[in-house]
Structure 1
Amino acid sequence: MERILTTGERGAGSLLLVEGPSGIGKSHLLTALADEARDRGFRIPPAHVVTVPALLRIWLAQEDRKTPVLVAVDDLHKLDEELPSGLPPLVAEFTSAPVVWALARRTGRGGSEVERVFALPPSEPSLPNTRVSLGPLSENTTQALIAALLGAPASPRLAALAATASGNARLLIELLQGLREENSLAVVDGMAEVTSTDLPERVRRAVRLLLAEVSPRCRLFIQLAALSGREFDLCAVAEAFEQPAGMLLPLVEEATDVGVISGVGDRLVFTQPLFWQTVLDSLPEPMRAGLRCEPARPLGRAKDLSWPASLGETDLLIANLVSHGLTNSQIATRINRSPHTVSYHLRKMFGTLGIRSRSELAGTVRQRLRESP
């Protein structure tokens, strides 16, 4: 960012192209860039001017061409085709002017005109350019962000909760700001500690906004998948849809495209446990209690679902919390253990019970309760 703005200050133009999945931080990067540019005396065109190439050209031509300018456009793939089609000639026309172009899109999104914009560096070799591919925040960056926003390093419990955002900058920032707004944080022994297990409303709102970006059918797919657990089998969701699994592939692609799910081996998984938990909590209680997908089992194998003597009370407690949709971090907080300890007990239960997913474990717990005298 420093180099991009310095180039403009020296009277030369430059180009910043940013790509990344949804929620990884494109908007925050452009906002920070714009704030820094204003502090340095850059001129920034009004939003209504940026979106209309003809107006932008007039604004750039009429204003003082010696003062550096920042033209920042977020989510280029969502805008009317007129803008991406008009950007290449505009960039070419003002190559010699101190105009810094910062353009962002979701990875792989947009039609041929957007692709043409993101192919600008080879066609404009005289224009200094930087291409940035954003990914999830690293653990160190996450910890630094927590300390910067809260004024104190995270406690182990807060760090475990923050880890459920899996490096998604959008969810992480909403989580931290929401906890602060709802007075669910305290500084204990110099560390920021979370004092509530409830998810902040800001997180719920962020998830609702993300779900609003996908089609209604994909939104239903995500909700039904959430009922099957953070890791799920496509066939189980297809059964709830009453369609062959192959018919759901477009929905899988759409959910993957917005960074909601990804493939792990022969199964699918929600990329952020925090997102999965929020979706699950947003569903009506009857839906969570009665329509959770469970693998079909032969009636004659009811004994296989009984609780083995080799599994102790801690295993049973964790299994019960899993059946209520809690994440590993939330379970760790409830039982005062580390997330690694919870993972160990889950692996042990999976092996002992001969199951492969959290949804199967939840089904085992409910079957045990039904069989209890």
Structure 2
Amino acid sequence: MVANKLFIRSPVKDVAVLDIKLNLGSLQEAYPGIANVLIPLWRMSNYARELERIGVSFSFEKGFDALTLRVKARFSVVNKAVKLIEDMFLNPVIDRLSDAIREARTSISINREDTSVRSVAEALKVLFNDHPYSRHPIAYDYSFDGITKDDIKRAVDALKVLSLTVVAPEDMVDINLPYAGYAKVPISRFGSGNVDVRLEGKVQASITIAYPSYGISNLEGSFRVTVMNTILGGMGLISRLYREVRVKRGLAYYAYSMYWPLGSSGVLIAMAGVRREVIKETIDVMLGTIGNQVISEEELNMAIKNRIGRIKVTAESPEGVAMLYSVIPTYGLPADYYEKFISYISGLRPEDVSRELRNLSKPAIAVVG
């Protein structure tokens, strides 16, 4: 068994779920945007149609560190499905390259009208400078017209599996493609500052405040920030950002935060959806809320219970198990990663979270709408 593969026995009889991560995230693309074109080329193949015909559901998601294919199938057909997936990967319908480019460009154009997604993309573009993490398709201008059939062939020839996570009744599933380990790309410096993008006909604007943070391999640091994020904006209606921005002042339609511990860096993101006339006031309140370093025992305990509860609920389905545990083979994390997480955060003190708030760097702030 290769280190990049993880098998977990499925909690559901006769159901197999696969999480396949490929070296086609923003970090690894030799030609930025080529994964956005490969996805429709793969979907156009007869192999994709056959997967659907035998009842296999699958979806692609391009991320910063990998291109993920998520698969759900009856265990009785999973090996046939894997063979079809291998053939699909290695045989994109290259003759339809112009159609795939058109589809990729259309998808990005539509998503650029979503102010929340666009504001995140614009903030990351500032925060990560010229690092591959800055190449979010909603803010980065991919030169799709420059992609040739030879570029597609080279991408397929260089195709590697970063990880395979199998949740199934038996460990009888593997993929006959070359494996490769995840490789970090160091970030030389983080950017900060403000960007404001005005879109026609938008009633609502979105604010994103993005801070650099710990990558996923820094276990204790990322564990602390996970809890900190939960307190700030990760517990819905009882989170600090929602209470301060939405409930107390009525400034925003929504307010929350996210933490993405990626392989080469982490990023903490605070968001709000507002009217244009209250943007400055809302940003001031958001920054003030994030800067409040006083953490109560009650807040901390609530956040810890929230995080542990989410893990338990997510792990009740095969899809949830695959999503949770696929980070372990992808980044080479300890097999007992979630046991370590629960043990560590259960012993956190308020001052541990306060210190993380105090040490936040200058953010990148984007407004779109």
User: Structure 1 length normalisation: TM-score?
Assistant: 0.30
Q: Which structure features the higher share of strand residues?
A: 2
Which of the pair has the greater relative contact order for Cα pairs under 8 Å at 6+ separation? Answer: 2
